[in-house]
Chain A
Amino acid sequence: MNLLQALRYFFREALVNLGRGFRVSVLAILTIAVSLTLGGVFLLASRNLSGAVERWRAETRVVIYLKPDTPPAEVERLAAEARQAAGVRSVQPVSAAAARQRFRDLFPSLSGLVEGLGQEPLPASLEVALAETPGGKALPKDLAAWLDGWRRRPEVSMVDDDREWLRQVETLVAVVRGVGLALGLVLLGAAIFTIASVIRLTAYLHHEEISILRLVGATEFFIRGPFYVEGLLQGVLGAGIAVAGLYGAYHLVHARATASLLAAMLATDFLGGRQIAFVILLGAAAGLLGAVASLRRESL
């Protein structure tokens, strides 16, 4: 029997086995689907959060808020001084009047809050765009020291560094990824165990047939092949269901992306082709591993 014939036979027998043990097969498939769906949710969240972080990183700025009543000329002088620092890409001075106008543009319904107060309610500021840092991570030490220097200056009331909270979001993404990985591995272990049990049960149900196959001269490859393919199919089917479920969930959340910041953060993009292939391969590997584990010590 050549390999092609053997594979055809294995798939046919595996499909028959799946049909015969339909309920337990469904159980195994659903177990792997649930574990991969949960793992996939974390993968999807992690992907989208990482994407959001990258987008935000491109927009991050350091805003140096100046004391009230800082004259416009002084604002311009400080901006010019800031531009001289290494690692600074650009400095945009924003006068108190410009800040008030921007507030009115961004929040028209709240524009009354900044009107008729007699003096400018919002401080002037310097919006500093920093040069890309390697990997977009922490600021270089000298730049951090430079920002600390600004914090101590008498003209400055506050320095707001977007990168601080961006680092917090990155930590959150790492946590999400780690939790997802750990949870996914635990659930995948459970799925492998379930598949192994189902395959062992199938092998037990076919014990008589297997003994006859062996007595008429079937090789171990021929006998075990259908069980390996059965595990593989269960894994692939479970993974397929997981990907379909994830896609459905993604669509539901994505539809709310305009109304919810969280939805926008979590469901901007679906998994990429490589990631889908990874989930499918993971399912296949789990199914195959379950089958191999179940028959490893089994004399059949």
Chain B
Amino acid sequence: MIQFFHVSKLYPGGQAALSDLTFDIPRGQFVFLTGASGAGKTTLLKLIFREEVPSEGQIVVNGRNVSSIPPGKIPFLRRSIGVVFQDFRLISRKTVFENVSYLPRILGLDAKTQRAVAYQALRRVGLAHRMNAFPEQLSGGEQQRVAIARALINDPEILIADEPTGNLDPDLSQEILRLFLEVNLRGTTVLLATHDRDTIERVGRRVVTLEQGKLVSDVELLGKDPPRLEAAEERPTEDLRPQLPSSPAGRPGPPEDTSA
């Protein structure tokens, strides 16, 4: 699903953010990306959704070579990737609904469907009742959940999250983590960047560690106290899935945009 081949990223001035990374994340896997601040986690994530371009090497995401993808195709790549940013990136003058419904609007869904899809996504993160609130009226945790709802609204094939629990209290962190694990259970590939070693050790899963831009370890960890997801699995999943148009493969996905 995500493949890095000898990828390096140099910033202007010659500073190396990433050096010769080669690894592969199969479809449906949950991967923790960890390392100290400045290790290159955020840069690596940005390379996946083409916010940054590698200086060397090739990156293949869902069969598409991101390094050489034509600019006109980048939006279609991004529609298959949900991204949760560390700083949420919510628009303060837009309501929760408006913040979440960017993608349905881009896809040209009618207002009623946009609202239904946004409602489903917000319901998934427990914020359906705050659709008309503005971000500044929400707590940090709620804002984080809105950002997650926006990332999940298209039921993406890949979910990328950059320190999604960094600003949250332990209970809320656990809740958010559980949400990511639930999403992963339904087949979405999840790449979660965090420097929270305790969470990683408790949950387990594959852990890729960066140090000064280099991949220093890539291991499978058994969780000491993994969250129980049974309750989540008992939920009526039909209600949880946003009602976006289905792709030919049957997986909900964006239709072709004729506006490009």
Residues of A within 8 A of B (CB): 1-3, 5-6, 9, 208-209, 211-222
Contact = CB atoms under 8 A, between A and B. Distances in A.
6 contacts: A1-B106, A3-B258, A6-B259, A216-B102, A217-B77, A218-B102
Contact of A222 (B72, B77, B94, B106): B106
Given A2-B258, A217-B254, A212 B89 contact: yes
Given A1-B106, A222-B106, A216 B79 contact: yes
Contacts of A208: 89, 91
A215 B78 contact: yes
Nearest to A7: B259
A6 B108 contact: yes
A217 B89 contact: no
A212 B90 CA distance: 8
B258 A212 contact: no
Interface string B86-117: 00010100100000001101111000000000
B4 to A, nearest CB: 20
B70 to A, nearest CB: 12
A216 B106 contact: yes
Contacts of A214: 75, 78
Nearest to B77: A217
A2 B108 contact: yes
B149 interface: no
Nearest to B91: A209
B231 interface: no
B49 interface: yes
B91 A218 contact: no
DSSP majority for the A interface? Answer: helix
Nearest to B254: A217
A217 B150 contact: no
Contacts of B5: none
Contacts of B106: 1, 213, 216-219, 222
Interface in B128-166: 150
A218 B108 contact: no
Q: Which of B71, B76, B258 has its CB near the most chain A CB atoms (within 10 A)?
A: B258
Nearest to A219: B260
Contacts of A219: 72, 75, 106, 257, 259-260
Contact of B102 (A3, A213, A220): A213
Contacts of A5: 108
B83 interface: yes
A217 B259 contact: no
Contacts of B77: 217
A1 B75 contact: no
A220 B259 CA distance: 9
Contacts of B75: 214, 217-219
Given A1-B108, A2-B108, A208-B89, A215 B259 contact: no
A217 B91 contact: no
B257 A215 contact: no
B24 interface: no
A221 B72 CA distance: 10
Nearest to A8: B108
B51 interface: yes
Given A209-B91, A221-B260, 10 more contacts: A1-B106, A6-B259, A9-B105, A211-B89, A212-B102, A215-B49, A216-B83, A216-B102, A219-B72, A222-B257
Contacts of A222: 106, 257, 259
Nearest to A1: B108
Contact of B257 (A1, A9, A213): A1
A212 B82 CA distance: 12
A202 to B, nearest CB: 14
Top-4 shortest CB links A-B: A1-B108, A217-B79, A217-B78, A219-B260
Contacts of B103: 216-217
A205 B75 CA distance: 22
Contacts of A217: 75-79, 103, 106, 254
Contacts of A213: 102, 106
Contacts of B51: 215
Contacts of B83: 215-216
